[in-house]
Amino acid sequence: MEQPVDFARRERPRFYRELDGFLRIPSVSANSKHDGDTRRAAEWVRDQLQRAGLVVEIFPTPGHPVVVGEWRGAGPKAPTVLVYGHYDVQPPEPLELWETPPFEPSLRDGRIYARGAADDKGQLFLHLKALEAHLAIRGRLPVNVVVLAEGEEEVGSPNLVPFVKEHRDRLAAETVVISDSSMFAPGLPSLLFSLRGLAYFEIHATGPSTDLHSGAYGGAVPNPANALVRLVASLHDEGGRIAVNGFYDDVAVPPEETLAGIRALPFDAEEYAEEVGTTASGGEDGYTPLERLWTRPSCDVNGILSGYTGEGAKTVLPASAMAKVSMRLVPDQSPDRVAALLREHIDANGHDGVDFELVELHGGRPWLAPVDGPHFEAAASALERSFGVAPVLTGEGGSIPIVMEFEEILGANPLLIGFALPGANMHAPNEWFATECFEKGIETLIHLYDELASGQ
Ligand code: BES
Ligand code: ZN
């Protein structure tokens, strides 16, 4: 008798065509010029879910819409699985660095290149197809399923917490499955035990009321660009630690077994540096790169703007300067407390004649899971069935802001099963998703429903 995985294999060419159509929609949430496209992507997800057999509704929000699809045929006594993903993408710029245009998917060397191929349209699509395969072959699923697809993840999910609170009954689930992260290595799948949180700021420095001749005034008036880079430099000490008073007060030391698990993973620091194109890995003294990424907070300038940056030399003293600074957080840090500490740091490192203003952009809390329980076992079995090896447990340096809220508001156990590969260029030019992971990803998620049901 034909099984859902047989269906998925048979329908693969169509799946690729459909994914191509999804990836062609430039649903850039950060850019209001694309609001119509972002809306179209939501409708695309709705149509897919409807065709698969779910009951679907698009909810407007003050920002981009939320799509909710439901299949409750397993009955009120059966458990419910919530699937979460995002249909928005990061801006594709700088366009000139793409080998093929970001919204014209291109299949090369076993990879699909397009903005959103890995983060997260390609991975959200895997879930749509796993559901479709079950419903097409068996006419049912072994559990109730709710799909929640949002269009604002890449801008910090500003409207999702209120949405989840308002619809907590409808979204309530035992398990929430999210595919928006990476495998540990090619052929080696992983289940996440943690995500870092985020606190994102702009620091504005203003000095003279206008740009000035850097000879006629330089040396006698305060320069906000000089002051801002001094402030930025003061954020770290020589050993790479963040030099903001009180910053480490809430940093929890992970349990020894987590640290031992990290040490046991195959990882080569030199290869890592080579992969990113540097001569050495960086960061806080006394920690390995994986410990730095998964268990320690970080602070980075994401962008800096001031003065003349065009061709040649212009002798000018800028009137203002701005830096975008992000801090990745670990348990038990909170974005609000970190913002307050940074504000104190800025006040204490003031510079005569230059005003600093701190603007809080968005934040998200870190997440850390206990890595046992039937849902973890079900996911591990599903991954092993399709990849032929058991997954490793890993942390993640990136953030998915809503995960903590799913746990707290809905009481759901998060299961983070990512299928992107390291180096997939999420947020960068030439983002890609491996076809092997695409195919095995769909099969894993098909198996996951059976494994979750058999673990009841
Ligand atoms: N898919 C990523 C999270 C991620 C990044 C997982 C890298 C695994 C590896 C997600 O879409 C994302 O980029 N999140 C943002 C959140 C922010 C905008 C609040 C992030 O981490 O920068
Ligand atoms: Zn992203």
Answer whether residue 265 is part of any domain: no
Query: Do 119 and 28 reside in the same domain of the chain?
Result: yes
Query: Token pair of 95, please?
Result: 């366009």
Task: Answer for the pair 56, 67: CB distance below 8 angstroms, yes or no.
Answer: yes
Contact 29, 152 (CB under 8 A): yes
The closest-lying atom of ligand 1 relative to the alpha carbon of residue 156 is: 19
| 388 and 451 co-located in one domain | yes
| Rounded Cα distance, 332 and 419, in Å | 28
Structural domain contains residue 323: yes
| For the CA of 155, the nearest ligand | 1
- Using most ligand atoms within 8 A of CB, pick from 365, 400, 405, 419 the residue to mutate for ligand 1: 400
Which residue is it, tokens 């003349």? 308
Residue ranges around ligand 1 (CB below 6 Å) = 119-120, 153-154, 156, 180-182, 198, 362, 364, 396, 398-401, 426
| Ligand at shortest distance from the CA of 153 | 1
CB 201, CB 326: distance < 8 Å: yes
> For residue 277, is it within any domain?
no
Count how many Cα atoms sit within 13 Å of the Cα of residue 148 in the half-sphere of its side chain. Answer: 26
d(CA 99, CA 105): 11
Closest of 12, 444, 420, 350 to residue 185, by C-alpha:
420
Closest CA relative to residue 21, chosen from 7, 8, 40: 40
The CATH number given to whatever domain includes residue 230 is 3.30.70.360
Domain match, 114 and 143 both = yes
Angstrom distance (rounded) from CA 105 to CA 112: 6
Same domain, 135 and 232: no
- pLDDT the model gives residue 371: 77
Distance (angstroms) between ligand 1 centre and the Cα of 195 equals 9
CA 418 to ligand 1: nearest atom? 8
Return the percentage of the chain with pLDDT > 90, whole number: 92
Atom of ligand 1 nearest to the CA of 396: 8
Q: Ligand 1 center to residue 254 CA distance, Å?
A: 22
One domain, residues 358 and 370 = no
Per the domain annotation, does 281 fall within a domain?
no
Alpha carbon distance 111, 255 (integer Å): 37
Rama region for 312: left / alpha / beta (φ>0; ψ in -120 to 50; rest): left
| CATH number of domain containing 35 | 3.40.630.10
Beta pairing class for 392-394 and 197-206: unpaired
Structural domains counted in the chain: 2
Same domain, 212 and 185: no
Of 363, 383, 407, the domain-final residue: 363
Q: Within this chain, do residues 305 and 421 fall inside the same structural domain, yes or no?
A: no
User: Residue 456: what pLDDT?
Assistant: 60
Is 0.75 surpassed by the pTM of this model?
yes
Asked whether residue 235 falls in the same domain as residue 113, the answer is no
Evaluate whether residue 140 is within a structural domain.
Answer: yes
Shared domain check, 295 and 377: no
CA–CA dist 400, 178 (Å, integer) = 10
On whether both 351 and 422 belong to a single domain, the answer is: no
Q: Quick one: three-class SS letters along the chain?
A: CCCHHHHHHHCHHHHHHHHHHHHCCCCECCCHHHHHHHHHHHHHHHHHHHHHCCEEEEECCCCCCEEEEEECCCCCCCCEEEEEEECCECCCCCHHHCCCCCCCCEEECCEEECCCCCCCHHHHHHHHHHHHHHHHHHCCCCCEEEEEEECCHHHCCCCHHHHHHHCHHHHCCCEEEECCCECCECCECEEECEECEEEEEEEEEECCCCCEECCCCECCECCHHHHHHHHHHCCECCCCCECCCCCCCCCCCCCHHHHHHHHHCCCCHHHHHHHHCCCCCCCCCCCCHHHHHHHCCEEEEEEEEECCCCCCCCCEECCEEEEEEEEEECCCCCHHHHHHHHHHHHHHCCECCEEEEEEEEEEECCEECCCCCHHHHHHHHHHHHHHCCCCEEECCCCCCCCHHHHHHHHCCEEEEECCECCCCCCCCCCCEEEHHHHHHHHHHHHHHHHHHHHCC
Query: Within a domain: residue 278?
Result: no
Q: What is the pLDDT, as a whole number, of residue 94? A: 96
Residues 6+ apart with CB under 8 A from 267: 288, 289, 290
Integer CA distances (angstroms), 185 to 164, 208, 282, 385, 406, in order: 33, 52, 21, 17, 28
pLDDT of residue 369: 87
Interval between CA 58 and ligand 1 midpoint (Å) = 24
Q: Point out the ligand 1 atom lying closest to the alpha carbon of residue 154.
A: 18
Q: Of 398, 424, 391, which Cα lies nearest the Cα of 275?
A: 424
Q: Which atom of ligand 1 is nearest to the CA of 198?
A: 19
Tell me whether the omega of the peptide bond preceding residue 92 falls within 30 degrees of 0, making it cis. no
pLDDT, tens digit, 9 for 90 and up, residues 147-199 = 999 999 999 899 999 999 999 999 999 999 999 999 999 999 999 999 999 99
Say how many Å lie between the CA of residue 242 and the centre of ligand 2: 25
Is residue 125 a part of any domain in this protein? Answer: yes
Same domain, 147 and 237: no
**Domain end: 310, 333, 363, which one?**
363
Domain boundary among 343, 363, 383: 363
Q: Say if residue 120 is in the same domain as residue 218.
A: no
How would you write the pLDDT of the chain (456 residues) with one tens digit per residue?
Answer: 899 999 999 999 999 999 999 999 999 999 999 999 999 999 999 999 999 999 999 999 999 999 999 999 999 999 999 999 999 999 999 999 999 999 999 999 999 999 999 999 999 999 999 999 999 999 999 999 999 999 999 998 999 999 999 999 999 999 999 999 999 999 999 999 999 999 999 999 999 999 999 999 999 999 999 999 999 999 999 999 999 999 999 999 988 988 999 999 999 988 888 888 998 888 999 999 999 999 999 999 999 999 999 999 999 999 999 999 999 999 999 999 999 999 999 999 988 999 999 999 988 999 998 778 899 999 999 999 999 999 999 999 999 989 999 999 999 999 999 999 999 999 999 999 999 999 999 999 999 999 999 876
* pLDDT score of 279: 87
Within a domain: 264? no
Please report the pLDDT score of residue 455 as a whole number: 72
Domain interval for residue 242: 197-256+286-363
